[in-house]
C-alpha cells in the first residue's frame, strides 16, 4: 500500500479481544467520553514494531440505538478501536454465562458448575449457542475491516471459535490465537460438553500460543486424546494441515513502572505511606476479586501466621486491594461476602483500638498510587489457586529495586516458571505452608533478599510485553510463509 506522502504503509495488525481497552461513558444522545486503559498489554499490542494496529472488541456497554452506536464508533476510531455491539441478552449468555461461569472456572481447575445439574445442562446449551453467535459477531466485524495482507490476532477464552469463523470466510487470512489463562490438563478439558468443537475451532488458526510450555502441552494432549489427531514437536496435525502450537510467556512494560517511581507525585505518595505505616512491615495483595486468586485462603494463612507469631501481631499489616470484577455472576457475589466476613472476623480478633491487621479495599487504585504501594511493600503475597501468568508479581518486582522486598508466589501461577528462582514458592491451598512462608519472608536476611530480587528484576526488565507481542506476530508471519512453502513443494 502507499500513503498520501508516498511512504509504504506498515503491515496492519488486527487485535481481536472480548474487551476494548477503553472505558466508555455516554454523555448525551450522540456523545461519549472515552478513557483508554494505559496498561502494558495495551501499549504492547498497539505498539508492535513495523505494524499498524487496530483493536476490535466489545466496549463493555449496552448501546441499543443506532445514533449511540454511530457516535461511539466514530469516537473509538480516533483511538484505533473498532466496537462489536453485543445486546444485553448475548452479554448475559455469552459473557456472564459461557465465558465466566463455565470456561473460566474450568480452565482454572475449579470444575464445571455443580448445582442443579439439570438446569445447568439446559442453560449450557443456550449459553454455548450464544457463545458461538457472539464469536460470529466478532468475525463479522473483522471481515468488514480486513484488508489483504493483514495479520489477525485473536485473544483469550472468549474467542475460541473465532479462528474457525474467520478461516471459513477466508482461508488465506493469517490468524493467530493466544490464551491468557491456563489451558488445563486434558482430563479436565474432556469434561466439557463442547470439548471437541472448541478444540477444532482453535485449530483453524495458523499459530496457537500459551503462556507456558505446560499449557501448550496440555492443549496438544487434548487434541491427540480427545480428537485422535497427531501431536508433533511443532504442534498438531490434522489431515496434513499443521497448526503450530508454542509458548510465548507475556511480560509487562517494566520501564513504565520503573520511571513512574521518579515522578514527584509518586514520591509524595511513597512518603505518605511510609509515614502511615511507620514501625510496621507492609504485606500487600493486589488481585481482581476472583475465586482463582485465592483471596480467602491468603487471608486465612495470614490469620494462622498471626496466631503462631505473637511477636509480629502489632508489627505487620496486610493491605489487600481487591478489584471488583464480573459482579453480575453469582459466584463472584458470593466471594465478596465471604471475603468481607473473614476480614471482619480476623480484624475483630487481632485488631486493637489503634490499628487493625488487615486493610481490605474493594476497589482499584490509580497507576501512581499503585506504584507507590508496590514500592513501600516488604512482602507481596500472590497466592492464586491457578493463574495464567499473574502480572502483579512482575509489577511488584519492577517497583522494588530500592527496597528489595520478598515475593511469595503460588506455584500454580504461570509466573512461578519465570520468577520461581527469586520468589518463595508456595502451595496456596496449604495454609500452614503459606503462614510459614510469611514468617520466612519477614525474617529474611538482606543479602538473601538482594540475591533473590536481582534474579527477578533482571527477568522482568528484559522480558517485556512489547517483546512478547513482537515475537508472537513475527512467528505468525513465519508460520504462514512456511505453510505456503510446504504446500508448493
Ligand atoms: C483476565 C482475562 C482477560 C480479561 C481480564 C478482566 O485477565 O484473561 O481476558 O479481560 O481477566 O476480566 P473482564 O471479564 O473484566 O474483562
Q: pLDDT tens-digit profile of 130-153?
A: 999 999 999 999 999 999 999 999
Residue 37 CA to ligand 1 center (angstroms) comes to: 13
Residue 50 CA to ligand 1 center (angstroms) comes to: 27
Pairing of strands 174-178, 151-155: parallel
- Nearest-angstrom CA–CA distance, 392 and 157: 21
**Angle between helical axes of 117-145 and 162-169 (0-180°, round to 10):** 40
| Residue nearest (by alpha carbon) to ligand 1 atom 4 | 19
110 phi and psi, to 5 degrees?
-95, 5
Confidence check: pLDDT of 310 > 90: yes
Return the biggest CA–CA distance within the chain.
79
Segment 383-412 shows an average pLDDT of 97
pLDDT given at position 156: 97
156, 177, 292, 389: residue to mutate for ligand 1 pocket, most atoms within 8 A of CB = 156
pTM: 0.96
| Residue nearest (by alpha carbon) to ligand 1 atom 9 | 156
The tens digit of pLDDT for each residue in 219-229 reads 999 999 999 99
| Among the listed residues 259, 82, 245, the one whose alpha carbon sits nearest the alpha carbon of residue 179 | 245
| Residue nearest (by alpha carbon) to ligand 1 atom 10 | 19
Confidence check: pLDDT of 299 > 90: yes
Ligand 1 atom nearest to 388, measured from its CA: 8
pLDDT given at position 256: 94
- Nearest-angstrom CA–CA distance, 286 and 308: 25
CA dist 297 → 160, 286, 313, 358 (Å): 31, 14, 19, 14
Phi-psi region of 404 (alpha: psi -120 to 50; beta: other; left: phi over 0): left
pLDDT given at position 140: 98
pLDDT given at position 37: 83
Residue 323 CA to ligand 1 center (angstroms) comes to: 12
Confidence check: pLDDT of 191 > 80: yes
In contact, 479 and 206? CB cutoff 8 Å: yes
The tens digit of pLDDT for each residue in 40-72 reads 688 788 878 888 999 999 999 999 999 999 999
Residues 6+ apart with CB under 8 A from 421: 452, 455, 456
Residues 6+ apart with CB under 8 A from 448: none
In contact, 235 and 242? CB cutoff 8 Å: yes
Q: Say what percent of the chain tops pLDDT 90.
A: 88
Residue 57 CA to ligand 1 center (angstroms) comes to: 12
Ligand 1 atom nearest to 325, measured from its CA: 15
In contact, 380 and 283? CB cutoff 8 Å: yes
| Residue nearest (by alpha carbon) to ligand 1 atom 2 | 180
Tell me what the pLDDT averaged over the chain comes to: 94
Segment 458-464 shows an average pLDDT of 97
pLDDT given at position 7: 59
Confidence check: pLDDT of 469 > 90: yes
Confidence check: pLDDT of 1 > 60: no
CA dist 132 → 186, 208, 243, 362 (Å): 22, 19, 21, 34
pLDDT given at position 123: 84
Cell triple for 392 = 502483579
Residue 347 CA to ligand 1 center (angstroms) comes to: 31
pLDDT given at position 2: 46
- Nearest-angstrom CA–CA distance, 331 and 311: 37
| Residue nearest (by alpha carbon) to ligand 1 atom 7 | 180
Pocket of ligand 1 (CB under 6 A): 19, 156, 180-181, 325-326
Q: pLDDT class for 367, splitting at 50, 70, 90?
A: very high
- Nearest-angstrom CA–CA distance, 180 and 386: 12
| Residue nearest (by alpha carbon) to ligand 1 atom 6 | 325
The tens digit of pLDDT for each residue in 161-182 reads 999 999 999 999 999 999 999 9
Confidence check: pLDDT of 363 > 50: yes
The tens digit of pLDDT for each residue in 94-136 reads 999 999 999 999 999 999 887 654 566 668 899 999 999 999 9
CA dihedral 66, 67, 69, 72 (to 10 degrees): 170
15, 101, 155, 180: residue to mutate for ligand 1 pocket, most atoms within 8 A of CB = 180
Residue 298 CA to ligand 1 center (angstroms) comes to: 21
SS3 content of the chain, % helix, strand, coil (to 5): 50, 20, 30
First to last CA, the chain: 29
Contacts of 460-463 with C-beta under 8 Å, sequence gap 24+, read 460/251, 460/252, 460/254, 460/394, 460/397, 460/398, 460/419, 461/254, 461/255, 461/258, 461/398, 463/249, 463/251, 463/418
Q: pLDDT class for 376, splitting at 50, 70, 90?
A: very high
In contact, 30 and 69? CB cutoff 8 Å: no
pLDDT given at position 257: 95
Residue 274 CA to ligand 1 center (angstroms) comes to: 32
ipTM higher than the 0.85 cut: yes
Segment 270-289 shows an average pLDDT of 97
Buried/exposed 379-413: b ≥16 CB within 10 Å, e otherwise: bbbbbbbbbbbbbbbbbbbbbbeeebbbbbbbebb
According to DSSP H, which parts of 355-424 are helical? 367-376, 392-398, 416-419
Which has the minimum average pLDDT: 28-37, 154-163, 452-461? 28-37
Confidence check: pLDDT of 359 > 70: yes
Ligand 1 atom nearest to 17, measured from its CA: 9
- Nearest-angstrom CA–CA distance, 112 and 325: 20
- Nearest-angstrom CA–CA distance, 59 and 86: 9
Cell triple for 301 = 494463612
Q: Say what percent of the chain tops pLDDT 70.
A: 96
pLDDT given at position 117: 46
Residues 6+ apart with CB under 8 A from 392: 286, 287, 380, 382
Amino acid at each position: 500500500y502507499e500513503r498520501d506522502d508516498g511512504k509504504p504503509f506498515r503491515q496492519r495488525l488486527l487485535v481481536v479481544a472480548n474487551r476494548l481497552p477503553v472505558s466508555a461513558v455516554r454523555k448525551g444522545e450522540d456523545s461519549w467520553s472515552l478513557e483508554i486503559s494505559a496498561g502494558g498489554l495495551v501499549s504492547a499490542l498497539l505498539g508492535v514494531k513495523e505494524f499498524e494496529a487496530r483493536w476490535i472488541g466489545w466496549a463493555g456497554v449496552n448501546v441499543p440505538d443506532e445514533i449511540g452506536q454511530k457516535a461511539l464508533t466514530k469516537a473509538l476510531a480516533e483511538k484505533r478501536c473498532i466496537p462489536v455491539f453485543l445486546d444485553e441478552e448475548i452479554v448475559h449468555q455469552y459473557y456472564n454465562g459461557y465465558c465466566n461461569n463455565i470456561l473460566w472456572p474450568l480452565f482454572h481447575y475449579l470444575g464445571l458448575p455443580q448445582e442443579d445439574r439439570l438446569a445447568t445442562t439446559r442453560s449450557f446449551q443456550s449459553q454455548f449457542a450464544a457463545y458461538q453467535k457472539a464469536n460470529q459477531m466478532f468475525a463479522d466485524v473483522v471481515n468488514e475491516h480486513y484488508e489483504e495482507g493483514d495479520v489477525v490476532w485473536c485473544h483469550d477464552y472468549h474467542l475460541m471459535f473465532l479462528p474457525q469463523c474467520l478461516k471459513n470466510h477466508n482461508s488465506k487470512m493469517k490468524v493467530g490465537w493466544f490464551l491468557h489463562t491456563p489451558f488445563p490438563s486434558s482430563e479436565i478439558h474432556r469434561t466439557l460438553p463442547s470439548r471437541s468443537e472448541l478444540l477444532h475451532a482453535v485449530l483453524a488458526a495458523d499459530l496457537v500460543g500459551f503462556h507456558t510450555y505446560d499449557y501448550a502441552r496440555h492443549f496438544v494432549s487434548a487434541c491427540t486424546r480427545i480428537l485422535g489427531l497427531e501431536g508433533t514437536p511443532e504442534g498438531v496435525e490434522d489431515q496434513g494441515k499443521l497448526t503450530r502450537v508454542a509458548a510465548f510467556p507475556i511480560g509487562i512494560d517494566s520501564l513504565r513502572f520503573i520511571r513512574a517511581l521518579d515522578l514527584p507525585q509518586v514520591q509524595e505518595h511513597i512518603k505518605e505511606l511510609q509515614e502511615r505505616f511507620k514501625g510496621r512491615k507492609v504485606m500487600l495483595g493486589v488481585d481482581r476479586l476472583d475465586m482463582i486468586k485465592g483471596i480467602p485462603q491468603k487471608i486465612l494463612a495470614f490469620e494462622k501466621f498471626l496466631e503462631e507469631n505473637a511477636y509480629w501481631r502489632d508489627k505487620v499489616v496486610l493491605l489487600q486491594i481487591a478489584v471488583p470484577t464480573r459482579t453480575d455472576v453469582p459466584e463472584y457475589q458470593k466471594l465478596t461476602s465471604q471475603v468481607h466476613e473473614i476480614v471482619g472476623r480476623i480484624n475483630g480478633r487481632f485488631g486493637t483500638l489503634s490499628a487493625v491487621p488487615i486493610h481490605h479495599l474493594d476497589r482499584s487504585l490509580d497507576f501512581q498510587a499503585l506504584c507507590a504501594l508496590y514500592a513501600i511493600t516488604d512482602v507481596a503475597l500472590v497466592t492464586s489457586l491457578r493463574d495464567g501468568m499473574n502480572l502483579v508479581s512482575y509489577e511488584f518486582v519492577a517497583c522494588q529495586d530500592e527496597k528489595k522486598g520478598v515475593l511469595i508466589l503460588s506455584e500454580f501461577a504461570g509466573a512461578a516458571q519465570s520468577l520461581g528462582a527469586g520468589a518463595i514458592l508456595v502451595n496456596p491451598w496449604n495454609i500452614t505452608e503459606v503462614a510459614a512462608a510469611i514468617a520466612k519472608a519477614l525474617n529474611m536476611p538482606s543479602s538473601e533478599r538482594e540475591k533473590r530480587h536481582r534474579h527477578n528484576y533482571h527477568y522482568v526488565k528484559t522480558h517485556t510485553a512489547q517483546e512478547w507481542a513482537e515475537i508472537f506476530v513475527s512467528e505468525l508471519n513465519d508460520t504462514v510463509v512456511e505453510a505456503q512453502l510446504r504446500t508448493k513443494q
